Amino acid sequence: MMIELNDKPSRVRQCHLLGLARSTYYYQPQPATDAELTLLRKMDEQYLKTPQYGSRSYATWFLRQGILIGRKKAASMMKTLGIISTAPKPRTSIPAKQYKIYPYLLKGKAINRPNQVWAADITYVPMEKGFGYLVAIMDWHSRKVLSWRLSNTMDADFCVQALETTIQDHGCPQIFNTDQGAQFTSTAWLAVLKNHDIQISMDGKGCYRDNIFVERLWRTVKYELLYTRAFSDLKEVRKSLIQWFDWYNQERFHQGLDNQTPNEVYYQFQAIHQAA
């Protein structure tokens, strides 16, 4: 069939060619209400305390606060926040695999130098009139945050941008560890890792302890910054995060690092080996 260049397909035809339902074509996302943002903020704060909660537990928890939401609503909120319960579930059936699951490579592994293992994760960012998402890439040995990006969606693009920037600025790790989130199982993300011969490691589904250092980072940045004020938009969040991550890398010492800062551990190792 020949199509004249001047011909513009009808919207019905466009939907057919793209495999889209017309309802999807015309759909316009509705901004979250103040009440919905308040509920998301409450769930996000509680998740830091009880990551084992699932939708049933959250519905019960909200009810104990005098807020009636159903289990389906709680599940929808968890999806918006990008969180899953860490509680073990009975394996009564094996779901169809829509993507390749890579093994967890860090169990029992001695991690004793920078750029040996990097890790990444995404977290929810509350704002006064909406919300966004933050991705951070961390060097496992030094706890240094190598790169981060903000986005108003959970698409993989902003994660891939952070990954490419980190490799450009710091080289490549031996292993990269993430959870099984859609961003980190996307073709674009995996292609970057494979093109640089980086070994791919993935947490067990819901096993937040497999990526414990990034989970601790989220707890710290939220209680020390994101929960301390109402941000109006992502531009304002970005401005504050630039200062906070600079402080975290340069000045925040860790007992687990012999009271050194992430930058001290990361660059000290490099200086020693360059001198040798």
Q: What is the CATH number of the domain that holds 265?
A: 3.30.420.10
Range of lowest pLDDT (4-8, 67-71, 228-232): 4-8
Q: Based on the domain organization, do 259 and 215 belong to the same domain?
A: yes
Q: Based on the domain organization, do 42 and 140 belong to the same domain?
A: no
Establish if 269 belongs to a structural domain: yes
User: What is the band of 7 on the pLDDT scale with cuts at 50, 70, 90?
Assistant: low
Which of these, 61, 220, 59, lies nearest to 136 by C-alpha position? 220
Q: Based on the domain organization, do 208 and 163 belong to the same domain?
A: yes
Quick: pLDDT tens for 87-113: 665 443 333 456 788 999 998 899 999
Residues 137, 241 contacting (CB under 8 angstroms): no
CA distance 127 to 198: 35
CA distance 276 to 33: 59
Establish if 94 belongs to a structural domain: no
Q: Based on the domain organization, do 178 and 266 belong to the same domain?
A: yes
Establish if 107 belongs to a structural domain: no
Mean pLDDT, residues 63-69: 93
Q: Describe the strand order of the beta sheet including 117-127 as a list of residue ranges.
A: 145-151, 130-139, 117-127, 175-178, 199-202
Backbone phi, then psi, for 201, in 5-degree steps?
-125, 140
CA distance 225 to 233: 15
pTM of the model: 0.74
Q: Which residue has the tokens 């995404």?
A: 122
Domain final residue, candidates 70, 85, 100: 85
Q: Based on the domain organization, do 128 and 219 belong to the same domain?
A: yes
CA distance 92 to 80: 27
Q: Based on the domain organization, do 131 and 183 belong to the same domain?
A: yes
Establish if 112 belongs to a structural domain: no
Mean pLDDT, residues 45-64: 90
Establish if 102 belongs to a structural domain: no
Which of these, 178, 181, 182, lies nearest to 200 by C-alpha position? 178
CA distance 267 to 15: 53
- Alpha-carbon distances of 217 from 139, 183, 213, 236, 254, rounded to whole Å: 12, 19, 6, 20, 12
CA dihedral 114, 119, 125, 130 (to 10 degrees): 130
Domain region containing 179: 117-275
Q: Based on the domain organization, do 152 and 251 belong to the same domain?
A: yes
Q: Is the pLDDT of residue 143 over 70?
A: yes
- 174 burial via Cβ count (<10 Å: 0-12, 13-18, 19+): middle
Establish if 97 belongs to a structural domain: no
Domains of the chain: total? 2
Q: Based on the domain organization, do 60 and 196 belong to the same domain?
A: no
CA distance 125 to 225: 11
> Whole-number mean pLDDT of the chain?
84
Q: Based on the domain organization, do 171 and 80 belong to the same domain?
A: no
CB atoms within 10 A of CB 159: 27
Establish if 96 belongs to a structural domain: no
Q: Based on the domain organization, do 180 and 258 belong to the same domain?
A: yes
- The whole-number pLDDT of residue 188 equals 95
Establish if 40 belongs to a structural domain: yes
Mean pLDDT, residues 140-149: 97
